[in-house]
Each structure stands twice: as C-alpha cells, then as structure tokens.
Amino acid sequence: MAKIVNLRRARKARDRATAEAQAAQNRIEFGRTKAERKLTEAEKTLAERRLEGHRLTDDKDEA
C-alpha cells in the first residue's frame, strides 16, 4: 500500500528546508563577527585618511 502523505505538512516541510538552505547561504555570505566588521571599518577609515592626506589641492578652494 502507498504511504499516506499530508500535503500541507509536506509543503511546509519543503518550505522550511528551502528557508534553512537560504539562511545557511546568507550566513556564509554575510555572516561576519563584530570584530571583523570593526577591523574592516578601521582599515577603510585609515585608507581614506591616507588618500586625503596625499591630496595636492583642496576642492573647496578651486570653485
């Protein structure tokens, strides 16, 4: 005999599995610790300060 399947439960289980797979992918792609985010921000700020320090002219005075 065939196994009886509740379609509502099967659909919900499938949707949960899909959502979990998407969450796992997002954790890989976007998941960074607070320390990693702070380090990246500090590196970005330092690079901007260095670039600004090497400017030869100030854009405000040329206008």
Q: What is the DSSP string of the chain?
A: -PPP--HHHHHHHHHHHHHHHHHHHHHHHH---HHHHHHHHHHHHHHHHHHHHT-SS-HHHH-
Residue 7 has pLDDT above 90, yes or no: yes
C-alpha atoms less than 13 angstroms from C-alpha of 8 in its C-beta half-sphere: 0
* Per-residue model confidence (pLDDT) at position 59: 66
What's the predicted TM-score (pTM) here? 0.49
**What would the pLDDT profile of 13-62 be if each residue is shown by its tens digit?**
999 999 999 999 999 888 988 899 899 999 999 999 999 988 887 666 65
Residue 1 has pLDDT above 90, yes or no: no
C-alpha 2/C-alpha 60 separation (Å) is: 79
